[in-house]
């Protein structure tokens, strides 16, 4: 049984909740973007999950909509040019590492298929009196 549930709100109510619960940044409209420092995704006010406890509480919470990310408004920043450049650099580095890993696997596979088993060049010595 889930302890929290996502709630459905109209656009006006959603914007009002964002304005009340995000004490770090002003929200002017739902399509404003934020960069989640935890998961590295760009999110919008429309996507942000608004949840409440299923135990009868009325308190709402805002969490990142990305799967397996439970970050809160304190961990979201406007995607400035500096943030976007950093995101691009991290993504390029991740792709480069992935490429290097693939190249290494391809080389290992190639070496396994082209190398011949090492055979003995001398006859095996006999044990005991012969």
Take residue 126 and report the two structure tokens written for it: 């006999």
Give pLDDT, residue 87.
Answer: 80
DSSP code at position 47: T
Q: Alpha-carbon distance 113 to 106, whole Å?
A: 11
Which CA distances in Å does 23 have to 29, 72, 74, 75, 113?
16, 11, 8, 11, 60
The per-residue pLDDT for range 20-73, each reduced to its tens digit, is 999 999 999 999 999 999 998 999 999 999 998 666 666 889 999 999 999 999
Which CA distances in Å does 92 have to 34, 84, 85, 117, 129?
21, 12, 10, 39, 67
Average pLDDT of the segment spanning 86-104: 87
pTM (2 d.p.): 0.62
């Amino acid at each position: 049984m889930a302890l929290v549930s996502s709630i459905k709100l109209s656009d006006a109510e959603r914007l009002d909740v964002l304005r009340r619960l995000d004490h770090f940044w002003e929200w002017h409209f739902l399509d404003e973007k934020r960069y989640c420092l935890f998961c590295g995704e760009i999110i919008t006010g429309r996507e942000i999950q608004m949840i409440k406890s299923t135990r009868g509480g009325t308190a709402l919470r805002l969490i990142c909509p990305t799967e397996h990310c439970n970050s809160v408004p304190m961990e979201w920043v406007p995607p400035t040019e500096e943030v976007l450049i950093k995101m691009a650099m991290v993504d390029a580095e991740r792709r480069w590492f992935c490429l290097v890993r693939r190249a290494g696997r391809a080389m290992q596979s190639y070496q396994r298929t082209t190398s011949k088993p090492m055979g003995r060049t001398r006859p095996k010595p006999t044990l005991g009196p012969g």
